[in-house]
Each structure stands twice: as C-alpha cells, then as structure tokens.
Homo-oligomer: A and B are copies of this chain.
Amino acid sequence: MPRGPEELRALVEDYLDDLALTPELGTLAEPIRHALGGKRVRPVLCLAAGEAAGAEVESVLPAAAAVELVHSFSLVHDDLPALDNDTERRGRPTVWAAYGEATAVLAGDALLAEAMRLSLSYPTPDVARELVSATLGMIGGQQLDLTDRHDDLAALHALKTGALFSASVMCGLWAAGLPPAEHPPWRAFAAELGLLFQIVDDILDGDGYVVEVGAEDARRLADEAGDRALARLGAIDADTSALTEIVAGLVARTS
C-alpha cells in the first residue's frame, strides 16, 4: 500500500528542513531557505511516481528535492524587478524584496546549482539529464512570455509549467531505476498532468486560459485533462493509488 500524498509531503518537508546546503554558499543559505516555501506539489508527485515504479521512497527524496529547488530557482528569478517585479509570494516578501536584488540573483543561481548537485547524487546521470532538459524548457518559456505574451498559450504553458511537471514524474521513475522501455505511458500521464495544473492555475488566477476561452470552457478543459490523466494512469501496470489521489486533488484545488 503506497503512502498517500500527505505522508509524502511530510517526508519532503523533513528532507528539505534537514538539507545540508553547500557550505561555500555562506550567507546565501538564509535567502535560499526563505525561497523554499510552497505546496510541494512537484516533489510529492516525484515521490509518488518513484514509489509506484517500485522504489523505496527515501531513495527518491534527493530527486524530489532537486525538482523543488528548480521550481524555487525559477520563482526567485521570475520575481525580480526586471522580470515580473513581484514583491510578495505566499504572503511573504519575495527574495529580492527581503534580501536585495543582487542576493536574489545569486540565490536563484545557487538553487539551480544545488538542484543539480542533488540530482547528481544518483549513480547514473539520468535524473540530472531529465531535470536539466526541463529547466531549459522553463527558461525558454519564461523568455517567450517576456517577448511574445499571447502568441501560443498552450506552447508557452507546456514550457513554463508542463516541462517541470513532467520532469517531476520522470525523475521519480529514473530514481526508481524504471527501464526506459516502460516510460512512454508515464510520459503521457505526466504531460496531461502539467496541462491540468496550468489550466486550474489560470482558473484560480482568472488569467491565461480563462481570458483565452472563458471560465466555463477553462473548467471543462481542466476536467477533461484530469480525466485523461486518470485514464493514462489506469493504463499503467502499477499501484498508482497515490497518484490518483494527487490528480483528484489537482482537479479540485482551490488555492
């Protein structure tokens, strides 16, 4: 019986709380820890996928934390004055608002490099390769967002959000040592999940898909993506009950 999302989330929190940062980062430790708030959606997904693929969940924790650090890296840089100029996130000052712009640039860099270090703690380069590929997609998505805001929303979201969502699942599988021949149905599941997350995000924020297609159709698209994600999950020969619970939570989330 795999662990449920709440139990996985508690494991992620404990792992991040105890995470030993590279000592040479010195005074960047505080802004880095400041940046590491959040709902842990991606690392929980990573752990659930790894456990469904047969891993001891503890062995997947470095991969899960790496995914979360990449997510935090992107937020710290996106919040900068030159980019989204956000002063608040999750009810607290953003890193640049609290520690200054220079430190926020370096703290973001450090989060990405620490994520790479964690993803390189496995014997093979697979987890790190998957994560780097998603990171490159995210960076490209952010650039696209800065330059051509409303051109192709689906492609933009696939890069900005979908890439790291998909990588969360795939990093769990690589950490579990699942042979690549068994990856395709998982990748299909991960892609639907990324889309689902983004549409629900837009519904909650009243932007993106809501502006594009209207609130009602956005809700319908989200529900359809959720149904497809569950159908993909049903086609995988593993105990995916924790993942089913995560999908249901993403469809129904209100924050």
Q: B-contacting residues of A (Cβ < 8 Å)?
A: 22, 24-28, 73, 77, 80, 82-83, 100-103, 105-106, 108-110, 112-114, 116-117, 120, 122-125, 128-129, 132-133, 135-137, 139-144, 146-147, 159
Q: Give CA–CA (A113, B137) in the complex, Å.
A: 10
User: What B residues does A27 contact at CB under 8 A?
Assistant: 143-144, 147
Contact yes or no, A140 B103, CB < 8 A: no
User: What residue of chain B has the Cβ atom nearest to residue A77's Cβ?
Assistant: B105
User: What B residues does A137 contact at CB under 8 A?
Assistant: 22, 24
From B82, B117, B135, A136 is in contact (CB under 8 Å) with B117
Q: List 19 A-B contacts (CB under 8 A).
A: A22-B136, A24-B136, A24-B140, A27-B143, A80-B102, A83-B102, A103-B146, A105-B105, A106-B139, A106-B143, A108-B109, A110-B139, A110-B140, A113-B132, A113-B139, A116-B135, A120-B125, A120-B128, A124-B124
User: What B residues does A112 contact at CB under 8 A?
Assistant: 109, 112-113
Q: Give CA–CA (A129, B120) in the complex, Å.
A: 6
Q: Copies per complex?
A: 2
From B77, B128, B143, A28 is in contact (CB under 8 Å) with B143
State how many angstroms separate the Cβ of A154 from the closest Cβ of chain B.
Answer: 14
Given contacts A24-B137, A28-B143, 6 further A-B pairs with CB under 8 A are A27-B144, A82-B100, A113-B132, A117-B129, A123-B125, A125-B125
Q: Give CA–CA (A139, B112) in the complex, Å.
A: 11
From B26, B110, B116, B140, A25 is in contact (CB under 8 Å) with B140
Contact yes or no, B117 A133, CB < 8 A: yes
User: What B residues does A77 contact at CB under 8 A?
Assistant: 105-106, 109
